[in-house]
């Protein structure tokens, strides 16, 4: 049986001379979208849509109706959701399949899968969207921008850029973007990942290492090097690129007001999150992390990421000159 990626109720537009939307139970699997009359799959599907190669378009919103369209040269299928966020969930899930073979569909897809797909189309060691966003932002004009990563960008442009990346298109950020819009796009991508950059099953190990580092720096660094080897290469490469860049951002904190603590608030949940989903436990552990010091001052897990993964002695697993 195909692995179910997303399931739920949608309204599907009927074919025929009289158009209307009927409620259907929808199952998005590895390559198809199937729709049923009931949610128990007790009967064969009413229809099956092959997703690879299908184009996705957002249709005009109306009251309590947020529509999207799947199409190819032969067919058009329209669906309706109750909320904008629900539509975004479905569009992301379907995009992973419909555009994945063409180097797109990275939102909601693991870093490892995205890198493997993109390498078939000339990609490198990290997701293209990470490389392009950092490449755009990594100059003094943007690094000095007050509130970088804190102030929101143009929502309409962010959504447009997201859709282009989803479709496997590489938009010209210098023409379409600005500091806050590209920063918002980068944060949106990281939040869409099914797991944090450091896989969440390593959360407790990482917390333990930080506490070890507080007591014995050398032993903590040695344990960190061992932990690095548990991180998939594509995640490690992404982590190194991201943390190296964020370290540079904080060097301009006098201009942008984004020191390591502020950056940690923004990025820590996407760099490393608690696998249990227990927010109270995560907050408890974050209190422990705040006891770690760097150059005699309080710090956080974000600071430790930036410090350790920017340090040359902890980055020897892979020799990477560029991304």
Note the pLDDT tens digit of each residue in 137-151. 999 999 999 999 999
pLDDT computed for residue 12 by the predictor: 97
**Cα(48)–Cα(27) distance, rounded to whole angstroms?**
10
pLDDT band at 178 (very low <50, low <70, confident <90, very high): very high
Evaluated on CA atoms 267, 270, 273, 276, the torsion sign reads: positive
Q: Is residue 33 over pLDDT 70? A: yes
Q: What is the pLDDT of residues 71-99, one digit of tens each?
A: 999 999 999 999 999 999 999 999 999 99
Cβ distance 90 to 81 under 8 Å?
yes
Q: Give 130-197 as a DSSP string.
A: HHHHHHHH-SHHHHTSTTTTTS---HHHHHHHHHHHHTT----HHHH--HHHHHHHHHHHHHHSSS-S
Residue 109 · residue 96 · CB < 8 Å = yes
Say yes or no to pLDDT of 159 above 70.
yes
CA dihedral defined by 93, 98, 104, 108, rounded to 10 degrees? 10
- 264 compared with 91, residue with greater pLDDT: 91
pLDDT tens digits for range 270-286: 888 876 655 544 554 44
Contact in structure between 239 and 323 (CB atoms under 8 Å) = no
Residue with tokens 């430790």: 304
**What is the mean pLDDT of the segment spanning 319-323?**
35
- At 106-142, the pLDDT tens digits run 999 999 999 999 998 887 899 999 999 999 999 999 9
Q: In the structure, what pLDDT confidence band is assigned to residue 206 with cuts at 50, 70 and 90?
A: confident
Of the pLDDT bands very low, low, confident and very high (cuts 50, 70, 90), residue 290 is: very low
Q: What pLDDT does 320 receive? A: 34
């Amino acid at each position: 049986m195909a692995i179910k990626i997303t399931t739920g109720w949608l309204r599907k537009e009927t074919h025929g001379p009289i158009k209307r939307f009927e409620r259907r139970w929808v199952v998005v699997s590895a390559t198809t979208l199937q729709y049923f009359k009931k949610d128990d799959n007790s009967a064969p599907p009413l229809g099956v849509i092959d997703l690879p190669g299908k184009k996705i378009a957002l249709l005009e919103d109306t009251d309590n109706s947020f529509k999207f369209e799947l199409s190819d040269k032969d067919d058009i299928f329209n669906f309706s959701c109750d909320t904008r966020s629900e539509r975004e969930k479905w569009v992301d899930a379907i995009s992973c399949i419909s555009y994945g073979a063409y180097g797109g569909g990275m939102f909601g897809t693991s870093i490892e899968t995205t890198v493997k797909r993109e390498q078939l189309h000339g990609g490198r060691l990290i997701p293209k969207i990470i490389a392009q966003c950092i490449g755009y932002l990594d100059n003094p004009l943007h690094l000095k921008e007050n509130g970088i990563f804190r102030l929101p960008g143009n929502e309409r442009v962010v959504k447009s850029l997201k859709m282009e990346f989803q479709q496997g298109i590489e938009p010209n950020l210098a023409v379409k973007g600005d500091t806050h819009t590209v920063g918002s796009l980068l944060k949106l991508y990281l939040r869409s990942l099914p797991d944090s950059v450091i896989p969440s099953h390593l959360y407790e190990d990482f917390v333990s290492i930080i506490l070890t580092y507080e007591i014995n720096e050398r032993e903590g660094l040695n344990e960190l090097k061992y932990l690095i080897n548990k991180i998939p290469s594509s995640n490690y490469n992404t982590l190194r690129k991201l943390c190296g860049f964020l370290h540079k951002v904080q060097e301009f904190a006098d201009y942008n007001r984004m020191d390591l603590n502020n950056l940690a608030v923004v990025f820590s949940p996407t760099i490393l999150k608690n696998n249990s989903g227990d927010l109270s436990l995560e907050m408890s552990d974050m209190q422990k992390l705040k006891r770690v010091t760097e150059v005699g001052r309080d710090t956080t897990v974000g600071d430790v990421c930036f410090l350790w993964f920017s340090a040359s002695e902890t980055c020897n697993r892979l020799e990477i000159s560029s991304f």
